[in-house]
Structure 1
Amino acid sequence: MYKSRYTTAQVKQILNATGDVVNDNPISLLITDSRRISNPSGGLFFALSGRRNGHEFVAEAYNAGVRDFVLSAKPEGYFPEANLLIVDNVLAALQHLATHHRAAFNLPVIGVTGSNGKTIVKEWLYQLMSPDKNVVRNPKSYNSQIGVPLSVWQINEKNDLGIFEAGVSTTGEMDKLEAIIQPEIGVLTHIGSAHDEGFADRDEKVAEKLRLFKNSRLLIYNYEQMLDYKKLIATPETFIWSRKFNQADLYVFSEAVISKNYYMRAVFKGKEIECIIPFRDEASIENAVICWATMLAIGYDPAVADDRLERLAPVSMRLELKNGINDCSIIDDTYNSDIQSLEIALNFLSQQNQHQKKTLILSDIYQSGLQQDVLYKQVAELIKARKVDKFIGVGTAMSSYRDDFEVAEKQFYPDTTSFLAQLQTQQYRNETILVKGSRSFEFERISQVFVQKAHETVMEINLNAMLNNLNYYRSKLKPGVKVMAMVKAFSYGSGTYELANILQYNKVDYLAVAYADEGVSLRQAGISLPIVVLNTEVGAFEKLTSFKLEPVIYSFGLFDEFIKYVQDSNIFNYPVHIKIDTGMHRLGFEGFEVETLCDMLEENPYVRVQSVFSHLVASDAAEHDLFTKKQIDLFEKAYIEIEDALGYKVIKHLCNTSGITRWPQAQYDMVRLGIGLYGVDGAIPADEGVLQPIATLKTSISQVKKMPAGETVSYMRNGSLAKDGRIATVRIGYADGYLRAFGNGVGCMLVNGVLAPTVGNITMDMCMIDVSQVEVKEGDEVIVFNDKLRIEELAKQIGTIPYEILTNISQRVKRVYFYE
């Protein structure tokens, strides 16, 4: 269904690879993830080595139907029909193939880089130029060493403009991306602190970014921002914009807010021009000016630029997973639709196991660069490969190809209004629904019908940030060390199956919950990973065995009760985990009890010990390192004695989050990753930037009041302002988890980027904050915590720990999950 671009023999020649070509297959897709294979017959699998070695997944890809592989060594196993192309460096081979492909097309390309705004600027330039250009661009934020070659591979004969963004995290990366993109025109976005940690200083970072434009004929940039770096610019032509320097090519000399829009006047080629954009925040204004400058620099008429900029639409690069009506889960991706982002969204849909039924609501796809019959055959193949159960197509184009879709249930409508007119919500129950549409179809109207209405206070969970944290800790592990992810206590307040699905998809080895009921919920949501129950209760034995949950045995009494239960149930070799108390003194067998425990375990046919573990008391605290060393010694003594008695090896694990990095010698066979998964680690300073907080708690302003000095606020009249000002009532209180301890100025929230302290006591559903120093109105967003106002800071404010802040967030606070 996909147009062949090369054959295996041609790819072998391009890459100068060794190895035999068994069958000269057509190659149309580049595959870097064995879990995301939608067209195996046309796929070329690159076994990349990073945090996970891609060579370990050759068999998985082969079993999925892939027959062409680029490897750095021959894999173990028997693959009789496979073409195994051997190269020195697999990533370099991927980049070289993309470079070769790019060179085959003589189309103008705009390259975009910077610290912030790359993706927004790229997407807005696409919106602005696609009415008269067939534009190829990165899907979402695919701007890395892997993402860029995959993006450039999309170029075809129909395209007459490319817009590609490039991101770097350290030196030596941009030259590779420049060779792939080969930009004729360069656009530099805002330079900020992002990725500063990968460079010696800001100068080195800017120099690295500018290497994207070393062969460009034109560079567009902000004059003020680049004053200190002008000597680094090598392009023969520049187009500068400025809000201060009147000699700039585009000099913005007047700015004003008009209703909800932002009005700008500027001088261009000696004449006054104007522009209106439908945004008011500073980041959007800067990104819009960059786009304005780019359009003018490449020859657009100022009136055309003004007209199109006024109709700019917000860019959402994130999928949102939300609770829906009738026990449904809704994946909201209603602001963009192209074949690449559809594949990403369908992949996310396939990860969801909480409902058996999967439904896709999809609009016509525009600007694909493909003939419609080819496009919708590709769409149909993707839907079939991802095993969608119900398909609803909206749009006249898709309706014309209804026979191509092999789905058990399918419906087609000419437009969104027609679909909504016949929609009977009771027909949608206990299913996962992906809503994905081009912006003109206004699919947000569909999403609003399906999404459960809830409290305006929301906790947003960034699933990409969680994966970043998981991969950071994986990078610190010795080869072969397994990962047990802690998802107890509603995943530290962050969710249940929503996180477990992602962890399962990303191949963690175990999940751990506190009680059996938590494990049962995960099993009912389709989680198949081994699940360890840390606090085993006698009354839950039947649930344990019925749902294949693995209990922790921590006392003789519990051991006796469990053996009696499995014996009476005629169960043999049931997996259990043995906990040793090495100093926590919470649960576990103490050292003097291990000998007796060994006698009970020896030749016991009813249980099989999967692991032996203990818990470090203060792995993040240097002042307690001697005690930690003592714990390690006690643990080693215990597990050696237990393995000798059992006559077989077990999994050993001792390290918790902080232990992974501070005590690598104690990683053993597995580590338990807890709070670090959620972006907090007492052993890693927050300002290092290696961990990303995954949660943002936000609410909104209900009312704003002028408040005279001395007038009391809230219960018991504890709060007041020292001078005349204003207070805002916000929709969060102690019933939501914002504790009373934050009252009376102890806590503060972010409102339009300004910290606003609490005033008076926190009430059950609301609290008041001092907004005298910030412009606000009813409905404005208020941040309780995020990656700027971190939960570590909130914990310090009230003398507690981040765990308590997270786990206190009430279940009535809606969780929304984002995934890029």
Structure 2
Amino acid sequence: MSALWTSGTALAAVGGSSSGSAWEGSGVSIDTRTLEPGDLFVALRDRRDGHDFVAEAFRKGAAAALVSRVPGDVGRDACLLICDDVQAGLERLAAASRSRTDAKLVAVTGSAGKTSTKEMLRHVLGRQGRTHASEASFNNHWGVPLTLARMPPDADYAVIEIGMNRPGEIAPLARMARPHVAIVTTVAPAHLEAFSGIEEIAIEKGSIFQGLEPGGVAVFNADVETAPILEAEARLHAARQVGFGECAQAVLRAERMTLTAEASVVEGRLDDGSFLMKIGAPGRHLAMNAMSAIGAASLAGADLDIAVCDIGSWRVPKGRGRHETILLDPVDNLGIELIDDAFNANPASMAAALEVLAVTQPAAGTGRAAAGRRIAILGDMLELGSGEALLHAQLADHPAMERIDRVICVGQRVRALHDALPGERQGPWVRTAEELAETVHRHLSAGDVVLVKGSKGSRASLVAEAIRALGKVHAGDEQKELD
């Protein structure tokens, strides 16, 4: 296998100077905890200064290190690539990587559904060619260039996730990625601390289209209130504009949708062709994400019919709405169904998760309760600005709440939702996820369906892990593990 980077190609891309002998690198790493032998270690400065870990990187087998100064604890013959600014050096490495590939590149942003859509694209495109995609949620000022720098030159497709926390962040990353197809999954109240309103969020999301290659295609959610803003941005920068959704204006349109607790089926149309798509996961939001993914795959040159078939074998990642059965008593087959959606939350994704819980059927008469219950364990939604209390409280009036038996709230901000709930639905309010993780078993019974969701900073994932620890997990992929 040919090297991803050599001392010569990396120096030509980054500039600066080098030391040590010639080297070949098989990957790029910014974290010594996950570094593989042969990686180029990039000594970024973030919460910690990466220069403090260069020696450790070499001990773990790094081929070379990209630095802005020579660390005092490395040998004089160390293979170093020295530049004025490591972040800028990584970005130049990314630009060189992007320039040397013929891969069709799809970029994804949105207030919710970015990572799920990216993973769907990875799945369907990976069946039709060598596909490179962002790891985890590497979607920020270092995640995007890192993903590009890791891209194999012979990739057929690439999928880049782009996120933001404040205005002006998406367009530079999109221009770095230079996608052939760019997707805006949805626009919703998120990161409102940094924006004046949802219209400004839509403008920022739509700025992904500024990075499109000549002849590029803009794919955007045509059902959202801010669709006209997205379409206007698309017309400025894209050769073709493709709205997706259920509305009559959508070019990529869901003409009929069937949603069950186990699956979502869409009868859809793209241009003059029709398709029947099924995914093994519940939820309108996931069905819409899947439709945008197969549409974008087709617009990037993949075969639509094959993509429609392959999306059926995609599975929800951990923490993003995956359904798992927690066996409390394997002998009697008594358990809890966990919906782990604890990775992140905003009002739109919270509403989508509640809708999934509402259609998921609990088991009857197997536990302490006379029948299984639908229980929502909800953590804080962060970065919502001055209107955060109202946005939390409004969830109490969501139609899906009518089918939910009990809501347990954890965190200071979600207290507003707790106070707005009717008494028969109001579970306990708990100050921290750590406290609830210790006592969550007291609130659950065999037969219950339990949704866990909250912003990453709410640490709702601790509660999901505590529920897993109650028994043996049977995940959707049929793999079993004992936590």
| TM-score class normalised by the smaller sequence | 0.5 to 0.7
Helix, strand or coil for the counterpart of 1:809? helix
Distance 1:119 1:787 in 2: 25
Distance 1:271 1:77 in 2: 62
Matched, 1:60 2:62: no
Count of aligned pairs: 403
Identify which of 393, 397, 402 aligns with 1:774.
402
Helix, strand or coil for the counterpart of 1:38? coil
Identify which of 806, 811, 819 aligns with 2:436.
806
Matched, 1:785 2:428: no
Segment of structure 1 superposing worse, 224-233 or 213-222: 224-233
CA contact (8 A) 1:267 1:273 kept: yes
CA contact (8 A) 2:106 2:300 kept: no
Determine the structure 1 residue equivalent to 2:238. 235
CA contact (8 A) 1:43 1:67 kept: yes
Task: Map residues 395-794 of structure 1 onto 2, 5 A cutoff.
Answer: 456=336, 701-703=362-364, 730=373, 774-775=402-403, 784-785=408-409, 790=414
Distance 1:772 1:317 in 2: 23
Task: Map residues 301-450 of structure 1 onto 2, 5 A cutoff.
Answer: 304=306, 306-309=308-311, 311-317=312-318
Determine the structure 1 residue equivalent to 2:156. 160
CA contact (8 A) 2:108 2:114 kept: yes
CA contact (8 A) 2:253 2:268 kept: yes
Helix, strand or coil for the counterpart of 2:256? strand
Matched, 1:255 2:257: yes
Report sequence identity in percent: 21
Distance 1:91 1:271 in 2: 45
Helix, strand or coil for the counterpart of 2:158? strand
1:21-49 Cα distance to aligned partner (Å, 9 max, x none):
2212222222212333330xx23222211
Matched, 1:169 2:203: no
Determine the structure 2 residue equivalent to 1:28. 26
Determine the structure 2 residue equivalent to 1:816. 468
1:207 Cα deviation after fit? 3.0
1:293 Cα deviation after fit? 3.1
Distance 2:430 2:409 in 1: 14
1:150 Cα deviation after fit? 2.7
Q: What are structure 2's unaligned runs of at least 5 residues?
A: 348-359, 376-391, 421-425, 445-465, 474-483
Q: TM-score, normalised by structure 2?
A: 0.67
Matched, 1:211 2:207: yes
1:318 Cα deviation after fit? 5.2
Distance 2:102 2:109 in 1: 22
Distance 2:436 2:372 in 1: 23
Determine the structure 2 residue equivalent to 1:145. 141
Distance 1:70 1:200, change over 3 A: farther
Determine the structure 2 residue equivalent to 1:625. none
| Corresponding letter in the other structure for 2:254 | V
Determine the structure 1 residue equivalent to 2:381. none
1:458 Cα deviation after fit? 6.8
Determine the structure 1 residue equivalent to 2:293. 291
Cα RMSD (Å) of the superposition? 4.7
1:226-269 Cα distance to aligned partner (Å, 9 max, x none):
12343222212112224122x43234333344795444444544
CA contact (8 A) 2:83 2:89 kept: yes
| Corresponding letter in the other structure for 1:730 | R
Determine the structure 1 residue equivalent to 2:102. 106
| Corresponding letter in the other structure for 2:431 | P
Distance 2:149 2:69 in 1: 25
Q: What are structure 1's unaligned runs of at least 5 residues?
A: 321-333, 336-443, 466-685, 688-698, 705-713, 716-726, 733-749, 757-770
Distance 1:786 1:313 in 2: 31
Distance 2:427 2:309 in 1: 51
CA contact (8 A) 1:7 1:26 kept: yes
Q: TM-score, normalised by structure 1?
A: 0.42
Distance 1:59 1:259 in 2: 51
Determine the structure 2 residue equivalent to 1:43. 39
1:772 Cα deviation after fit? 11
Distance 1:316 1:786, change over 3 A: farther
| Corresponding letter in the other structure for 2:29 | I
Distance 2:320 2:257 in 1: 34
Distance 2:132 2:400 in 1: 48
Distance 1:787 1:132, change over 3 A: farther
| Corresponding letter in the other structure for 2:45 | S
Distance 1:788 1:293, change over 3 A: farther
Helix, strand or coil for the counterpart of 1:70? strand
Distance 1:461 1:228 in 2: 29
1:773 Cα deviation after fit? 6.9
Distance 2:401 2:164 in 1: 38
1:94 Cα deviation after fit? 1.0
Determine the structure 1 residue equivalent to 2:447. none
Distance 1:729 1:106, change over 3 A: closer
1:89 Cα deviation after fit? 1.8
Determine the structure 1 residue equivalent to 2:10. 11
Distance 1:795 1:191 in 2: 28
1:157 Cα deviation after fit? 4.7
CA contact (8 A) 1:794 1:805 kept: no
Distance 1:124 1:241 in 2: 16
Distance 2:396 2:172 in 1: 40
CA contact (8 A) 1:203 1:229 kept: no
Distance 1:787 1:134, change over 3 A: farther
| Corresponding letter in the other structure for 1:47 | A
